[in-house]
Amino acid sequence: MDILLRTVNLCKIYNNGSVMVNALNDVNVEFERGSITAIIGASGSGKTTLLNLLGGIDSDAKGSVFFQNTDILKMNDTKLSQFRSEKIGFIFQFFNLIPELTAKENILLPHYIIKSPKSNNTVIALSEKLGIADRLEHYPSMLSGGQQQRVAIARALINNPDVLLCDEPTGNLDSRTSKEVISLLKELSKNEGKTIIIVTHDIQIAHQCDSIITITDGSIM
């Protein structure tokens, strides 16, 4: 088994004034390369907190998050930023596209951030794979929800990351479009070896994944 990402005794505490909240409590999980995993649980159970720590968005926690053999919680800000840019792709419920940019410009945003040369060939290849090749010069307001999420997926893939972290990626889509998006993610997992982690409230989506992790009050059940 090729474990790409794992946590060891991961704990996260939020200090809300006089109240201490255990968002994560001794979480130990492993994610295999090329697998697709669902994380489910009630609102406030710690799902998004775990996702943020796995992706290096947050590093203020106890324990460890290992990408291969490197503990990303011990990285400085510069290395953590580089890790996020090169190894992690993020997909969100509300797409997070910049309305003033075309689909193509939104897809290329991660290239701009790391000052990588623009790759039109990569954009064209991704857009053809995702069925949005004829929408590259359109602005987000001109696209359907499903098309916007496909643009967001292309943006997440532009730097060829090893891991895709998806926070309710179908939460703002109708059922037919949701199925299409999940089918695309499964294809990326199986055909391109991407490790995909999906936070979802939809148990039907969870059952399409290779494995399901349930979080209750910050603990893995």
Q: Which helix H or strand E contains 164, and what residues bound it?
A: strand 163-167
3 pairs with which residues across the strands?
32
Average pLDDT over residues 111-129: 78
What three-state secondary structure class fits 100?
coil
Q: Which of 60-64, 77-81, 117-121, 193-197 has the lowest mean pLDDT?
A: 117-121
The pLDDT score that the predictor gives to residue 197 is: 97
Cα–Cα nearest to 33, from 170, 152, 210, 207: 210
Mean pLDDT to the nearest integer, 75-100 = 92
Q: Are strands 211-216 and 36-40 parallel, antiparallel or unpaired?
A: parallel
53 near 47, Cβ under 8 Å?
no
Does residue 18 surpass a pLDDT of 90? no
For residue 82, give its domain range: 3-220
CA distances from residue 14 to 9, 21, 114, 153, 202 in whole angstroms, order as listed:
17, 5, 31, 31, 27
Q: Considering its fold, how many domains does the chain have in total? A: 1
CATH number of the structural domain spanning residue 54 = 3.40.50.300
